[in-house]
Amino acid sequence: MKTADFSKIIRDVPDFPKKGILFKDITPLLQDAKAFHTCVEAFAAEFGKEHIDYIIGIESRGFIFSPVLAYKLGAGFVPVRKKGKLPWKTEQVAYELEYGEATLEIHQDAFQKGAKVAIIDDLLATGGTAEATAHLAEKLGAEVVKMAFLVELKFLKGRERLANYDIFSLIQY
C-alpha cells in the first residue's frame, strides 16, 4: 500500500457530525495493518533526521499517531486537550470554531523554554485547531518546527492560515 492509495480506504461519511460536513473517517485505514504501517513510516520519513524534543498530539484523533511517532523519533509525547480534562496547572487558548468557540489546554510544565516541538493531528481543515495548539506551545516558550497531518482538505485553505509554519500532509483532497 502506498500513501497515494489512502484515498481508497479513507471513508467519506456525509452529514457527520452535522449536516453539510463530509467527515473523513480514518478508521478503515487504522484497522488495516499494512496501511497503518505505511502511514506511520511515511510520517517518520517526513521528519527525517530533524531533532524533535516533543511531539504534541491534539485530542482526540491526534492521539492516535502522536505517541507512535514520539516513540519512533525518540521524542516525548505531550497531550493538548479540550478544557477541563488535564489534571495539573494549565495554559489555555480560546479559538473560533465554525459555530462558537472552544478552549484547548496544555500542562504548564509540558516542556522547557526553547524545546523543539512538532504538532500532529489526523486532519487539517481550516487550521484553527493547529494554530491554537501552536500558540499554546509558543506561550510556553517552545519552537514549533513542524506540523504533520494525515489528511489535508485543501479547499479550506488551512495551509494559508498556517503560513508561518512548516507543514506537511500525507494525502490531500
**Which residues are catalytic, by number?**
61, 98
Sketch the per residue contact string, 31 through 70, with ligand AMP: x for CB under 6 A, - otherwise: ---------------------------x--x---------
User: Shortest CA distance to 160 belongs to which of 133, 127, 130?
Assistant: 127
Binding residue count for ligand AMP, defined by CB under 6 A: 16
- C-beta atoms surrounding 37 within 10 Å: 11
Q: Does the footprint of ligand AMP cover residue 124 (CB under 6 A)?
A: yes
Site of grid cell 498556517:
162
Q: Does 165 bind ligand AMP (CB under 6 A)?
A: no
Among 79, 150, 158, 159, binds ligand AMP (CB under 6 A): 158
Residues in contact with 41: Cβ distance below 8 Å, sequence separation at least 6, in sequence order: none
Residue 145 CB-density burial (10 A; 0-12 exposed, 13-18 middle, 19+ buried): middle
* For ligand AMP, the closer CB: 103 or 126: 126
Contacts with ligand AMP, residue ranges (CB under 6 A):
21-24, 58, 61, 121-129, 158
